[in-house]
C-alpha cells in the first residue's frame, strides 16, 4: 500500500475527495478541514493500493495541485486493515506490475543530480577499482561496483526518454559526463601518487589476471549490461530495492573507468582503449534495456495514455 497526502485549497477539496472515494483501490480516507497552515488549505490523506496510484493521481490532477498545494506519496508500511485488503483486491492489476510514474520520476530525479556527494562516491568507487586492478583483487572490484552511484543517472535517462522529460535526460547525462571524467582524473592523481611512493610498479599490466574481464569487450559484456539494465528498472518500478545490489555487482562501469586510468598511467593504451569501450558498452546497454523494460511495463499495465509528459522543474 501507498500513503497519499494532499494539501489543497478549499475549492479543490470536494473534487479530490470525489476522485479518491470513487476508486475501489482507495481506503482510509481522512479529511481535516483547514488542517494545513502553509500553504493554507485542507488536508486529505488516503491509503492506496499501488496499482491504483496512477489512476488516482491522474483523477485528482496531481500536477495541478502541486502548484497550489502539495502532493506526497510514501510507502504505507505494514497496514493491518480488512478495508486495505479489499482495496488491494478490488484495484485492477497487480501491485508488483504497477508503475507509479510520479514516484518513479521524483525518485530518479533526485538520484541523477550532479552533486558533491555523487562525485565523492563515484571517485571513491573508481579509486577502489584502480586498487583492485593493481592488486589483482576481484573482491575489491566488487566493492567498487557496489559503491558506484552511476545507476541512478542511467535509470533517470531511461525514465526521461520514455516519459519525454528532456530536462531529466539532460541532468542525468550531465552527471555522467562530468562525474566520470572527474572521478577518473582523481584516480589518475592517486595512481601517479602510488607510483611516486612506490606502491605501483611501472610495468605493463598482465594479459591474464583475475580482473581481466573488466576490459575484455564482447557479446557477453553487452548481454550482461542489458540484463542488468532490465533488472535495475524492474527493481525501481516494483519498489524491490534489494535487487539493485545485484545490478550494481553485475556491471563493470566503474571498474572499467578505474582500469582505463591505471592502464593509461602505465602506458598500456590498448587495454586503456578496451576499458573505455567496455565502459561505453555497459552504459549504453543499461540505458537501452531499462528503457525497453519501462516501455513494456507501461503498455502491459495500460498506463501509456496517463504517462506524464510535463517538464520536471
pLDDT in tens, 55-84: 899 888 888 888 899 999 888 878 888 888
The H or E element spanning position 29 is strand 26-37
Q: Which of 54-63, 94-103, 179-188, 273-282 is predicted with the least confidence, judged by mean pLDDT?
A: 94-103
Residue in the block written with cell 509528459: 309
Closest CA to 27 of 78, 86, 69, 70: 86
**pLDDT at 310 (0 to 100):** 44
CB 298 within 8 A of CB 234: no
CB 3 within 8 A of CB 78: no
**pLDDT at 205 (0 to 100):** 63
**pLDDT at 97 (0 to 100):** 64
In the chain the first and final C-alpha atoms are separated, in Å, by 28
- C-alpha to C-alpha distance for 261 and 280, rounded to whole angstroms: 15
**pLDDT at 207 (0 to 100):** 59
DSSP at 305: G
Instruction: Give the number of other CB atoms < 10 A from CB of residue 111.
Output: 18
Residue 181, pLDDT > 90, answer yes
Angle at 246 between CA 245 and CA 247, to 5 degrees: 90
Instruction: Give the number of other CB atoms < 10 A from CB of residue 171.
Output: 20
CB 138 within 8 A of CB 147: no
Q: What is the pLDDT of residues 193-244, one digit of tens each?
A: 877 877 666 555 665 566 777 777 778 888 888 988 888 888 887 765 555 5
Indicate the burial class of 304 (C-beta count within 10 angstroms; 0-12, 13-18, 19 or more).
exposed
- C-alpha to C-alpha distance for 54 and 100, rounded to whole angstroms: 5
If DSSP codes are grouped into helix, strand and coil, which group holds residue 311? coil
Beta bridge partners of 4: 46, 73
CB 288 within 8 A of CB 296: no
Burial of 183-213, coded b for 16+ CB within 10 Å and e otherwise, reads: bbebbbebbeebeeeeebeeeebeeeeebbb
**pLDDT at 312 (0 to 100):** 38
Q: What is the pLDDT of residues 20-51, one digit of tens each?
A: 999 999 999 999 999 989 889 999 999 998 88
Looking at domain 2-98, what is its CATH homologous superfamily?
ACT domain (3.30.70.260)
| pTM listed for this prediction | 0.78
Amino acid at each position: 500500500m501507498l500513503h497519499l497526502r494532499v494539501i489543497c485549497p478549499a475549492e479543490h477539496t470536494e473534487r479530490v475527495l470525489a476522485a479518491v472515494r470513487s476508486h475501489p483501490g482507495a481506503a482510509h480516507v481522512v479529511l481535516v478541514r483547514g488542517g494545513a497552515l502553509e500553504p493554507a488549505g485542507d488536508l486529505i490523506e488516503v491509503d492506496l493500493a499501488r496499482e491504483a496510484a496512477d489512476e488516482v493521481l491522474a483523477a485528482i490532477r496531481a500536477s495541478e495541485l502541486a502548484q497550489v498545494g502539495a502532493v506526497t506519496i510514501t510507502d504505507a508500511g505494514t497496514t493491518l486493515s480488512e478495508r486495505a485488503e479489499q482495496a488491494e483486491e478490488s484495484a485492477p492489476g497487480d501491485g508488483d506490475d504497477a508503475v507509479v510514474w510520479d514516484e518513479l520520476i521524483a525518485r530518479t530525479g533526485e538520484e541523477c543530480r550532479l552533486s558533491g556527494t555523487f562525485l565523492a562516491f563515484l571517485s571513491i568507487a573508481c579509486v577502489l577499482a584502480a586498487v583492485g586492478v593493481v592488486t589483482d583483487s576481484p573482491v575489491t572490484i566488487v566493492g567498487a561496483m557496489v559503491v558506484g552511484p552511476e545507476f541512478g543517472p542511467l535509470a533517470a535517462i531511461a525514465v526521461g526518454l520514455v516519459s519525454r522529460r528532456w530536462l531529466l535526460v539532460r541532468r542525468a547525462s550531465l552527471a555522467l559526463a562530468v562525474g566520470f571524467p572527474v572521478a577518473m582524473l582523481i584516480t589518475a592523481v592517486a595512481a601517479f601518487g602510488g607510483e611516486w611512493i612506490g606502491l605501483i610498479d611501472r610495468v605493463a599490466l598482465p594479459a591474464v589476471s583475475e580482473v581481466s574481464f573488466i576490459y575484455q569487450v564482447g557479446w557477453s559484456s553487452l548481454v550482461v549490461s542489458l540484463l542488468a539494465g532490465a533488472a535495475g528498472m524492474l527493481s525501481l518500478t516494483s519498489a524491490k530495492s534489494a535487487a539493485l545490489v545485484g545490478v550494481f555487482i553485475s556491471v563493470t562501469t566503474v571498474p572499467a573507468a578505474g582500469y582505463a586510468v591505471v592502464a593509461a598511467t602505465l602506458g598500456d593504451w590498448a587495454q586503456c582503449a578496451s576499458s573505455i569501450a567496455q565502459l561505453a558498452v555497459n552504459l549504453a546497454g543499461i540505458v537501452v534495456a531499462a528503457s525497453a523494460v519501462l516501455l513494456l511495463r507501461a503498455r502491459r499495465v495500460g498506463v501509456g495514455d496517463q504517462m506524464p509528459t510535463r517538464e520536471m522543474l
